[in-house]
Amino acid sequence: MRILVLYTGELGKKVIQNLINPSTFCVSCGELCNHCRQVRKSYANLLVGIHEFPEDLPAFIEEPAQFLPPKLPECDLILAIGIHPDLLIALPEVIQKTGAKAVIAPAEDSKKTPAGVLEQLRKELEAMGVEFEAPKPFCALEKTGKPAIDAFVDLGFGKPVLRIEMSPDGKMFIGAGVLRDAPCGSTWFVAKKLGWTDVSGYKESISGSHHSYPCTGSMDKDPQIGDTILHKAGYIIREAVEEGMECEKKEKSRISASYGNEAQATGS
């Protein structure tokens, strides 16, 4: 997979760094860092192009072509993160030059990435036979049956999935492993902060670490979801932890039942 990243703002920087995974990317733990991310593969080889657009572009861009890079590499997937709405509308032109099969345009701020613009872009791209997803926020991205976009999720980016390990009495988190990471990289930080904390306070632990990373979702109420995008991102990581906790409980019950059956068989 060849990925072209077109971005404006902090989220784009985080996504790029998360894909590359340099040792200097996550410094949230400071001196307590145990380099947990070193086990994560780097996908720097998949990045065929990166272009940052400035944040001080005109409110209305009549000729988007003058702001687009003069040379664009061939690619399979375009990540259009936080870019100007008029540049989003110009993506079909970028598709023609790059041959991209898919576009992911996450909506972290409905004011900067209007729903109407995304819907117009969706119709144009789908008419061209190009896959399109506009997750709100980026960490809401799941597999949808679209091959190129699903391939990105299969790399380990999208809606977080965690493996949770709890103490035998179920009262403490021993650790958490990241099976699928939020594209911004926050899942690793939340997982690290869960270790050796009380299960009873998991909501506070998750909320505190998610805000501290920090999440780049907007704090303005989004009319489509009826809440802030930042809050939705918080609910997503909480649900991921809760699902991991449930899987851990089921696995322990299965093992306990298996030992019980073996003991009965031996006794008989």
CA dihedral 12, 18, 20, 21 (to 10 degrees): 150
Angle between helices 186-194 and 202-212 (to 10 degrees): 140
Which stretches in the chain have pLDDT values below 50?
A: none
First-to-last C-alpha distance (Å) of the chain: 57
List the domains of the chain with CATH numbers: 3-154 (3.40.50), 161-267 (no CATH)
CA 88 – CA 82 distance, rounded (Å):
9
pLDDT digits (tens, 9 = 90+) for 132-185: 999 999 999 999 999 999 999 999 999 999 999 999 999 999 999 999 999 999
Q: Residues in the chain, how many?
A: 268
Please give the pLDDT value at position 262. 62
φ, ψ of residue 7 to 5 degrees: the values are: -150, 160
Instruction: In whole angstroms, give the CA distance from residue 125 to residue 101.
Output: 10
pTM for the model: 0.92
Strand partners, 77: 3, 102
pLDDT of residue 255: 79
Looking at residue 265, its pLDDT comes to 62
